[in-house]
Amino acid sequence: MTCVSVVIPCYRSVQTLPTLVDRLLVVLPTVASLFEVVLVVDGSPDNTWEVAQELADRHETVRALLLARNYGQHNALVAGIRCARYDIVVTMDDDLQHPPEEIPKLLAGLRPELDIVYAVPHTGTHGFVRDLASKSLKIGLSGRFGGENSQDICAFRAFRSFLRESLDGVTGPYTQIDIAFSWATTRVGTVRVNMEHRSVGNSNYTVPMLVRHAVDVLVAYSTIPLRLVTYFGLLAGAIGTILLAVFLWKYWCGDTTVKGFTSTASMISLFASAQMVALGVIGEYLGRIHMERMGRPTYIIRERSESHAPSLSVTPDVSRETVIHPGAGIHER
């Protein structure tokens, strides 16, 4: 018996949510005996919450969560994944680029020997520049995700719900669920699916946003920048040593002028640059440690809208703790 939870982070999706839910409610009964759709409204400034709430009131299999503010896509996914009830979780975007009709392919690809399956589009869906930037980002970060399919990570994924235990230690505002999943399993697969072009609005993931995302991932989950600072310092020291040798050689050969300003200014600029870069990288790490020590939450659920779902014979997840913040809602961690 297949039981499926579909988790969808929602932001500015007033026009797409009704169509998306209607299509899901047609597809899911054909592949799952029990299913639910969890809509996580990530502090959207428009009427997305009202639309999600109305869908949850109309359909017993639809649940809606409203976050207290905009926390970001991955933080919203963490909230939805922790609230999911069933054995298999499917995550997808709210803009109809991930067709609900492709979910059966994902579930079929989640074979017993795999724990997570990513959907890989047959062709690009965002245009040449955006697709190239996205692919370059995945290649550059592939070492952080592990596994031979690390370059194929995608927001359209299906995985076994036990993987959410890897999110139990996730705190603070910087979250990357795929890296957290890579700490729990290397049994990763891919499935080729058809993706659709975005028909409403524009994606928030522009090229500058992808660059910032890459920096966030590297600093939050890696010590590579610190190592690069070390290598940069060694390189600057080597260049300084070579320049010193050149100047001494010219001095001993009598091929010098009294000026010396250009060489001195160049060396000072070189070493000052190396020091500033090193301080900037170290400061980024210290800033993130400071933010985590401040106790900034991954998310806070302000409001829920859901019908009473049928009881399930599953073991309760006691590893998650629910903290009630006065005046702020419920925070699950």
Same-domain pairing of 32 and 98: yes
Same domain, residue pair 231 and 86? no
According to the model, what pLDDT value does residue 264 have? 72
The total number of residues shown for the chain amounts to 333
Q: Which domain holds residue 278?
A: 224-293
Here the tokens at position 102 are 């492709």
Domain co-membership, 80 together with 184: yes
Kindly indicate the confidence band of residue 219, based on its pLDDT and cuts at 50, 70 and 90: low
In whole numbers, what is the pLDDT of the chain averaged over residues? Answer: 77
Q: Provide the pLDDT confidence category of residue 322 given band limits of 50, 70 and 90.
A: very low
Number of domains in the chain: 2
Report yes or no: 6 and 26 within 8 Å, Cβ to Cβ: no
Tell me: do 125 and 8 sit in the same domain: yes
pTM tops 0.85, yes or no: no
**Given this model, what pLDDT does residue 167 score?**
86
Residue 221 in 3-state DSSP? helix
Confidence of residue 162 (pLDDT cuts 50, 70, 90): very high
Same domain, 230 and 274: yes
pLDDT at 315 over 90: no
Tell me: pLDDT of 128 over 50.
no
pLDDT of 152 over the 50 cut: yes
pLDDT at 214: 61
Average of pLDDT values for 29-46? 95
Helices (H), the chain: 17-27, 48-58, 73-83, 103-109, 128-145, 177-184, 207-221, 224-252, 261-293
Query: Is the Cβ–Cβ distance between 170 and 180 less than 8 Å?
Result: yes
Weakest-pLDDT range from 248-252, 276-280, 319-323: 319-323
Domain-located, residue 36: yes
Is a pLDDT exceeding 50 seen at residue 207?
Answer: yes
Residue 218 lies in a domain: no
Chain position carrying tokens 């069933």: 86
Give the rounded distance of the alpha carbon of 230 from its chain centre.
28
Instruction: Give the model's confidence band at 14: pLDDT under 50 very low, under 70 low, under 90 confident, else very high.
Output: very high
269 and 157, same domain (yes or no): no
Mean pLDDT, rounded, for 70-98: 93
The gap between the terminal CA atoms of the chain, to the nearest Å, is 29
pLDDT of residue 297: 79
CATH number at residue 28: 3.90.550.10
Task: Say if residue 24's pLDDT is above 50.
Answer: yes
HSE toward the beta carbon, residue 152, CA cutoff 13 A? 18
Q: What band does 321 get if pLDDT is binned at 50, 70 and 90? A: very low
Q: Do 249 and 197 lie in a common domain?
A: no
- pLDDT at position 198 is 65
Tell me if 318 is assigned to some domain: yes
Q: Find the mean pLDDT for residues 151-165.
A: 87
Please state, as a whole number, how many other Cβ atoms lie within 10 Å of the Cβ of residue 326: 5
Residues 82 and 144 in one domain: yes
Check residue 316 and give its pLDDT. 37
Cβ-defined contacts of 325-329 (< 8 Å, 24+): 325/300, 328/68, 328/300, 328/302, 329/68, 329/300, 329/301, 329/302, 329/303
Residues 142 and 262 in one domain: no
- Separation of alpha carbons 157 and 107, rounded Å: 9
pLDDT of residue 123: 67
